[in-house]
Structure 1
């Protein structure tokens, strides 16, 4: 027995000693993307990326930027994947006119493979996306705009009724606002986090906690399944607060989905969504679609609800915090924007402005410039977004990219490109205006919502929130930021969503203006 065990161990060791150099030789010299520049260690093993993701706390995005400075605009960042840093190529990689799959290795780490946002196959995604598009259309956002404005007025009321001289965590309040809007619109009811004394501060980093799990699961595939399989009693006793909040959120969304499904006896697919049915949720939208029954199971619906609600929460909140920070750090910009709002004659007190008021805000050039600059500096996704062309080679300059190769670009890095945006860390709305003060859109390099067939579903909802919150907040209040600086707003870590270096809140003394 001992001799047999020794023999097996010897053969195993010999196999490994033979396999590793052969694998290294293949990946470095024979692999279809072996010719592309980049670090040899990254070309040999994904553990190079894992080191920056797991042990360096989400620094691979910034390491990729460093690699581009050394190796050029197209680099190999893993044994199987390329990354491009060239804004002119973005429209080609994220286009409408061809089949683009997602990279299964990256999206499967989210643990929700049936959700539209994480669907790998182009054609399956197209079917699922078609079922959701009416719900997130501009028409339906306008139809539901009263929800946004009611929540924003509630937010303003909370700020107005704080005891005089009270410093509040404005960052937590903004997160509570975006959570309440997202859940009210998508599932027909909010958790009323705006009513909680501390705005449910322990949920403000919910998406970042999920990002921590994703970042680890990418490299340790069983980690996510292990986390979900651990009895809740053990997690409640030994788990950290972030993990508890994340799993509680998953449970709550699954339970809400199950309740909506159980109460839905029949859905008439012929009834247009924008007809005035305020109880129409994203669950109803999917059930009323022409998707097959296999796409309407509880598991699938829960995955959709979880991903869609979470996508509409902290993402918008981060862009709002960045914009607010720079507005109140730059009195001249703040003053100019207030002058534009005053000349527009839009009623921005606690009264309802309605869809007409929203349209008027959308037409203001300087407000648009401020919001675009806020989206540029407040890019919500810190990770690369890979695309795969399974049926054709791609051409980038002199480089032929073999079919099936995952290729990614990173808007966070593109938005900091100093050739496109001189002094990229400076908040300068004027870069979006011409000499006459009219809005101009930079043709390339600005992609806060991505583009192509996978463009952000919630783009119209996010814009409506941005216009309303920024306009009403700066019109109704003066803010004195309390120990808030670049560490609270600048991108410092990739947790798929952008994470900042400091997580102690975004505090301010709030004084009503009107």
Structure 2
């Protein structure tokens, strides 16, 4: 028999042969995923079990609606749903402590985390053991004790924010609360982490383009999950083509931050931490470089990614909660009057530090309700159990399976929170009720991968909300719930209207 060369075989193939082969391949994949895959027994849409394009449609075409589609899927299929070929989602508050526990070994799911393109940061580190050692280097810097020692820097920036409100009151000009609070959050993050002032609060428009970019980057994350080339392309193109405003401002910020990080590392060299140097006087770069991390985790590119990643994580989540709280407090005179009375009876917000404000029950209830409706993330947080199978009711979930829950959906669960979309601080005033709900109130997540900046966020909320409420009145201009309520999963919460809450400001005597 004459030898047949591979080139001859391929030359005889037509597009019809290729089409048939591809169709056969995809049919085999679909049949395997539907009937033979380890997750085939779990309920859910057949199309979601076959392909991630199901999720892609709700993410990319409908702009971050898969989280809310999952909410509907649970109503149809029950508390455990197969939401993709490889992933499960659970909707049962009783299961939260099982999934987000400090016991055992849990990886993050690469599907969502890889889309950010920052694999060296703690928040996007997949492997359990690597995350554990990297996180240990950050914990002391963001501890409650260290944040408390540095609350004067929070107060200083809060006073600068109040000065801008005073100026707006004198000039009778509208102020954009969304942009103002975003500028405060960015300046505080940069000040706390790098000990630098990038002047967002000094800019006439609060550097609004940067604010819009931070919100818009969530859309890039949605695209990159399904098309890895999307985010680099978006950041390189002008905003007129991408729809993401202010990418130039964001690139400038990243460049400046990286230079500041490099300068700090160059000054440090290989020195060890002086025994008499408190963390309050140094930067996050110092904390990483002086830690017991191995040399590979102190490499320049790793440190740059880590520090810029932590910086960016604090830009929008706390600002979103603050603007939601202020919108609902000032929209309800009864809540506003009660909050002001509590502050007045305590001696006034300006006389109290963070620990004193934490003792005020109604202020705490207001902040809890704000974080319930606007938690740090709008997306699910999947975990991959490495050392155990998970049991939920009659279901055995095999180890290695990505399983997620969504804080935003749990915080809207009417079984826990009657009339869940209503801003109602009364849910939290009674201490017994608060203790009952605390297990499922997780705006900063829980377990080994909870938000590293949680204490800084709490300090911001207590100090800023208390002082603004006591010192200013706001009359909103064409503002509504669409300016504050989450309606999209852009990793962070996405609102229907990103133009911001405009208001007329007046000083209170």
Provide the secondary structure at the position in 2 that maps to 1:194: coil
In the other structure, the counterpart of 2:57 is 51
Alpha-carbon offset, residue 226 of structure 1: 4.7
Match of 2:91 in 1: 85
The residue matched to 1:447 in structure 2 has which SS?
Answer: coil
Q: Does 1:171 align with 2:204?
A: no
CA 1:11/1:111 → structure 2, altered by over 3 Å: closer, same or farther?
same
SS of the equivalent of 2:103 reads coil
Cα offset, 1:482, TM superposition: 1.1
Give the aligned partner of residue 183 of structure 1.
190
Q: Does the CA-based 8 Å contact 2:64-2:489 persist in structure 1?
A: yes
Confirm or deny: 8 A CA contact 2:483 2:500 kept in the other structure.
Answer: yes
CA contact (8 A) 1:323 1:378 kept: no
Distance 1:97 1:270 in 2: 34
Aligned positions of 1:232-251 closer than 5 A: 235=238, 241-251=245-255
Q: Which moved more, 1:376-385 or 1:110-119?
A: 376-385
Give the aligned partner of residue 470 of structure 2.
Answer: 475
Aligned-pair distance for 1:497?
A: 0.4
1:382 paired residue number: 378
Is residue 217 of structure 2 the alignment partner of residue 210 of structure 1? Answer: yes
The match for 1:62 among 36, 57, 68 is 68
Q: Deviations over 1:62-117 (max 9, x none)?
A: 11011111111110000000000111111110000111110012101110001111
Q: Counterparts of 1:377-416 in structure 2 under 5 Å? A: 377-416=373-412
Following the alignment from structure 2 to structure 1, what is the Cα–Cα distance between the partners of residues 479 and 442?
Answer: 27
95-104 or 247-256, which deviates more: 247-256
Equivalent in 283, 303, 306 of residue 304 of structure 1 = 306
The Cα of 1:243 is off from its aligned counterpart by: 3.5
Asked whether the equivalents of residues 139 and 274 of structure 1 are also in contact (C-alpha less than 8 Å), the reply is no
Which of these residues, 361, 364, 368, is aligned with residue 360 of structure 2?
364
Residue 225 of structure 1: how far off its partner (Å): 4.7
Secondary structure of the structure 2 residue equivalent to 1:161: helix
Tell me by how many angstroms 1:8 deviates.
5.8
Question: SS of the counterpart of 1:58?
Answer: coil
Q: CA deviation at 1:247?
A: 3.2
State how far apart, in whole Å, the 2-side matches of 1:20 and 1:272 are: 64
Aligned counterparts of 2:433 and 2:231: Cα–Cα separation in 1: 49
Aligned-partner Cα distance in 2 for 1:273–1:72? 55
Match of 2:481 in 1: 486
| Structure 1 match to 2:327 | 325
CA distance in 2, matches of 1:470, 1:432: 17
Distance change (3 Å), C-alpha of 1:421 and 1:273? farther
Aligned partners of 2:218, 2:279: CA distance in 1, in Å? Answer: 37
Is 1:222 matched up with 2:217?
no
Distance in 2 (alpha carbons) for counterparts of 1:236 and 1:17: 39
Aligned partner of 1:509 in structure 2 is 504
Q: Report if aligned partners of 1:416, 1:425 keep a CA contact under 8 Å in 2.
A: yes
Number of equivalenced pairs: 501
SS in 2 for 1:312: helix
Residues 16 and 472 of structure 1: CA distance in aligned 2, closer, same or farther (over 3 Å):
same
2:379–2:491 CA contact under 8 A, matched in 1: yes
> Which position in structure 2 is the counterpart of 1:497?
492
For residues 433-481 of structure 1, what are the alpha-carbon distances to aligned partners after superposition, in whole Å with 9 as ceiling and x for unaligned?
22x8996551432110100000110010000000001100000001111
Secondary structure in 2 matching 1:345: coil
CA–CA distance in structure 2, aligned partners of residues 307 and 276 of structure 1: 20
Question: For 2:392 and 2:94, how far apart are their aligned partners in 1?
Answer: 10
Structure 2 counterpart of 1:142: 148
1:273 shift after superposition: 6.2
Q: Per-residue displacement from partner, 1:192-230 (whole Å, max 9, x unpaired)? A: 1111111111111233222122111111123335556x5
Following superposition, the deviation at residue 390 of structure 1 comes to: 2.0
Residue 440 of structure 2 aligns to a residue whose secondary structure is coil
Report the counterpart of residue 96 of structure 1 in structure 2.
Answer: 102
Counterparts of 1:315 and 1:75, CA distance in 2: 28
Shift of the alpha carbon at 1:371? Answer: 0.3
User: Aligned in 2, Cα 1:475/1:440: closer, same or farther, shift over 3 Å?
Assistant: farther
Identify which range, 108-117 or 2-11, moves more after superposition.
2-11
Q: Is the 8 A contact 2:427 2:434 kept in 1?
A: no
Q: Is the 2:104–2:387 Cα contact (8 Å) retained in structure 1?
A: no
Q: Which residue of 1 aligns with 2:343?
A: 341
2:473 & 2:192 partners in 1: Cα distance? 29
Does the 8 Å CA contact 2:146/2:280 hold for their aligned counterparts?
A: no
Equivalent position of 1:314 in the other structure: 316
1:131 alignment counterpart: 137
Match of 2:31 in 1: 25
Map 1:188-207 onto structure 2 (within 5 A): 188-207=195-214
d(CA) in 2 for partners of 1:122, 1:197: 44
Deviations 1:403-438 (A, max 9, x none): 10000100111111111000111111111122x899
Q: What SS is found at the alignment partner of 2:81?
A: strand
Classify the secondary structure of the residue corresponding to 1:478: strand
